[in-house]
Amino acid sequence: MSARLLDGVATARAIRDELRDEVARLLAAGRRPGLGVLLAGDDPASAVYVRNKTRACDDLGLRHETLTLPNSATTDQVLDGVRTLNERPDVHGILVQLPLPPQIDAARVLGLVDPLKDVDGFHAENVGLLVQKRPRFVACTPAGVMELLKRNGVALAGRRAVVVGRSDIVGKPMALLLLHADATVTVCHSRTADLAAVCREGDVLIAAIGRPGFIGRDHVKPGAVVVDVGINRIEDPALARRLLGPGRLLAFESKGHALVGDVCYPEVREVAGALTPVPGGVGPLTIALLLRNTVRAAGA
């Protein structure tokens, strides 16, 4: 058996296409959706993520602006940047690119973002609304996973769902969204006893633990739907040989690095019923849901 691949690129494209009519309507009314990005520090991955997000804005006709602060920035400087974006009427959505440099109090920064512009869904007010099943803005990655499952006909009501990872950004909101879809949800973490056995209970398994290739064959119930949220850069040839197929392994040997998920793809593909690839799975959906949240904020 080989798992059906859940194509995040195609699903993200469909979401963006659906947004075009709404963007056109807002433009006709003289209201161009605008995204304000705050980028602090010199993390190369963060810079790439911001470029990808702003290119997606260009494709959809959204205005965007990035406030860039040095790696030495203080919490007060970042807070001043957030205040500036809060006050701008042409900025409808605010994205604080994470991680912030270690000296910055990320909780204070995220807490200052106007909840009505919090298109990342991280503000406590928006998290609380999600808990109460009254969502305004939902964290983009878990919201994207839900879109992927829905548009690929994956039924959730009455099924067992296991989430590996308990972060505020992915694990916790993912569990809430699955619960609201009437799944029976288990959240696992680093201290879960006999993790593989718990994972095998899942008809749907969400891997968001941040460890390359951690989820293997022994973690997966035969026929389960496996969603790999992880994005990890690897440079170890031995790890590459375990996690990459022949084609990607050739590319790794040329470049010296590759992106992989939290799932051991070659192993899990042989036991799962459906599986997301990395890259090309959840990543594009995160950006598509950021765009959708920004357009919704502009139309509110």
CATH number of the CATH domain containing 246: 3.40.50.720
240 occurs within a structural domain: yes
Is 128 among the domain residues?
A: no
Picking from 117, 132, 156, the residue at the C-terminal end of a domain is: 117
Residue in 114, 118, 120, 262 annotated catalytic: 120
Q: Judge whether 9 lies within some domain.
A: no
Alpha helix positions (H), 132-180: 140-151, 171-180
Domain count, the chain: 2
Mean pLDDT for 158-174 is 97
Domain match, 242 and 149 both = yes
Please indicate, yes or no, whether residues 193 and 272 belong to a single structural domain of this protein.
yes
- Of 117, 148, 175, which marks where a domain is finished? 117
Going by pLDDT thresholds of 50, 70 and 90, the confidence category of residue 247 is: confident
Confidence at residue 1, expressed as pLDDT on a 0 to 100 scale: 64
pLDDT of residue 213: 96
DSSP label of 215: B
Mean pLDDT, all residues of the chain: 96
Burial class of residue 287, CB neighbours in 10 A (0-12, 13-18, 19+): buried
Q: Considering the domain boundaries, does residue 174 fall inside one?
A: yes
Q: Is residue 296 part of a domain?
A: no
Tens digits of residue pLDDT in 90-106 = 999 999 999 999 999 99
Conformational region of residue 153, where left means phi above 0, alpha means psi within -120 to 50, and beta covers everything else = left
113 and 144, same domain (yes or no): no
Residue where one domain finishes, among candidates 117, 150, 167 = 117
Could you confirm whether 90 is annotated as catalytic? no
Q: Answer yes or no: are the C-beta atoms of 246 and 264 closer than 8 Å.
A: no
Amino acid code (one letter) for 293: N
Q: Which domain holds residue 64?
A: 30-117
Quote the CA–CA distance of 34 and 56 in Å, as a whole number: 12
pLDDT, average across residues 168-173: 97
* Domain at 89, CATH number: 3.40.50.10860
Please confirm, yes or no, whether 58 is among the known catalytic residues. no
pLDDT for residue 214 is more than 70: yes
Angle between helices 282-299 and 8-28 (to 10 degrees): 20
Q: What angle do CA 243, 144, 58 make, to 5 degrees?
A: 100
Told to judge if 172 belongs to the known catalytic residues of this protein, a careful annotator would answer no
Within-domain flag for 291: no
Per-residue model confidence as pLDDT tens digits over 139-159: 999 999 999 999 999 999 999
